[in-house]
Amino acid sequence: MVMDVHGRDLRYFTVVAEELHFTRAAERLYVSQPALSKQIRSLERQLGIALFVRDRQGVTLTAAGAALLPHALRVLAEWDAARQAVEEAKAEQRSTLVVGMSTSPGRGGLLPAVRSRFTASRPDAVLRLRQVGWEDPSAGLADGGSDLAFVWLPLPGQEHYDHVVVAEEPRLVALPEGHRLAGRDAVDFADLLDEPFLALPGSAGPLRDYWLALDARGGRPPRIGAEVASTEETYEALTAGLGVVLLAAGNAPLVTLGGVVTRPVRGISPSRFALAWRRDAAGPLVSAYAAACRQAVAGGDGDAAGGGAGGEAAGDEAAGGGGPYGDAEGEAAGGDPAGGHPAGR
């Protein structure tokens, strides 16, 4: 069986077959005539048969050459089409920006404000949202599936990322309405130290620790009542009395659906929501989107945007939630950030 016939050999063969003249064919191919002749002889040796008759009258195709020609042309045409498809895919990849999130970038129009600024500067770029589960606190940055992502700080391996904070929101505590602390207007975190807490999955790393407020516990380990990986699980665990949970203020409407109340917490820092990207992958599109985000935040677009990821109302543009403790859902992987933003559960 003949193996390893290269596309170059077939292309040389077809041009000689079309010209029936080695010198003219060499000129078309930008190679020397001796080099072309050598390559054709090599192809004939591989195939085990002559493809051309060379005599004083000129060059003609043999029966084998005539049989090979239409197949060689089809192979080359398919290869040219394949190369074009690859080039188009490369161009699309270069012009597509994937923005990850497990939390909606928020209320008040921040996301469309960023989008409008970005598309004004890069009109040929395609924006695509990628929804990522709570198990990945980087919202796709760590595995390279997202070019940028709206995330909660702190990030695991935060030294590898740059970010711009888009919102700060107080952390509240969500409690079953019959809880002993539910009657207070505000709760000191010291009064929560012995309470069982709902925790993010262990894979969330330092983000899990942050929403357990380890830095405010004075070295006392938290009691874990249950692990939760979605808004539904959080609400169900709260109503079942499995524990209490800290959450961003903007997410309060997502869990206070009946049987659950939220209260301000004294003695802990506010939550920070940010747009982040890898320092080693800050290409032109990433830089343009980050600049658009900075402009939108500095311009006051989407006041309190993003906050903790909560929609103020189900009909609010960009209303959405996300861990902790509400999900950014309703935005398909191929969605355009322009509208239909993740609806909070």
Chain segment 87-141, per-residue pLDDT in tens: 777 665 568 899 998 866 555 578 889 999 999 998 888 899 888 888 888 999 9
User: What are the residue ranges of helices labelled H in the chain?
Assistant: 7-19, 22-29, 33-47, 63-95, 110-121, 206-211, 231-239, 252-255, 284-298
Position 320 pLDDT exceeds 70 = no
Q: Look at residue 135 in the predicted model and tell me its pLDDT.
A: 82
Q: Look at residue 98 in the predicted model and tell me its pLDDT.
A: 93
When pLDDT is cut at 50, 70 and 90, the band that residue 200 belongs to is: very high
Position 345 pLDDT exceeds 50 = no
- What CA–CA distance (Å, rounded) separates 41 from 58? 16
Q: Which CATH class is domain 97-345?
A: alpha beta
Residues 6 or more apart whose Cβ sits within 8 Å of residue 6? none
Nearest to 157 by CA among 169, 143, 171: 143
Question: What is the domain partition of the chain in residue ranges?
Answer: 7-93, 97-345
Position 5 pLDDT exceeds 60 = yes
Position 240 pLDDT exceeds 90 = yes
Mean residue pLDDT across the chain: 83
Q: Which two tokens stand for residue 278?
A: 């890898």
Position 177 pLDDT exceeds 60 = yes
Position 307 pLDDT exceeds 80 = no
Position 232 pLDDT exceeds 70 = yes
Q: Look at residue 20 in the predicted model and tell me its pLDDT.
A: 92
Position 268 pLDDT exceeds 70 = yes
The CATH number of the structural domain formed by 7-93 is 1.10.10.10
Higher-confidence residue of 25 and 314: namely 25
Q: Look at residue 225 in the predicted model and tell me its pLDDT.
A: 96
Q: Look at residue 267 in the predicted model and tell me its pLDDT.
A: 95
User: What is residue 198's three-state secondary structure?
Assistant: strand
Nearest to 104 by CA among 16, 167, 33: 167
Candidate from 48-52, 94-98, 127-131, 318-322 with smallest mean pLDDT:
318-322
Residues 6 or more apart whose Cβ sits within 8 Å of residue 177? 259, 260, 261
Is-contact 21 14, C-beta < 8 A? no
* Residue range 19-33: mean pLDDT, rounded: 91
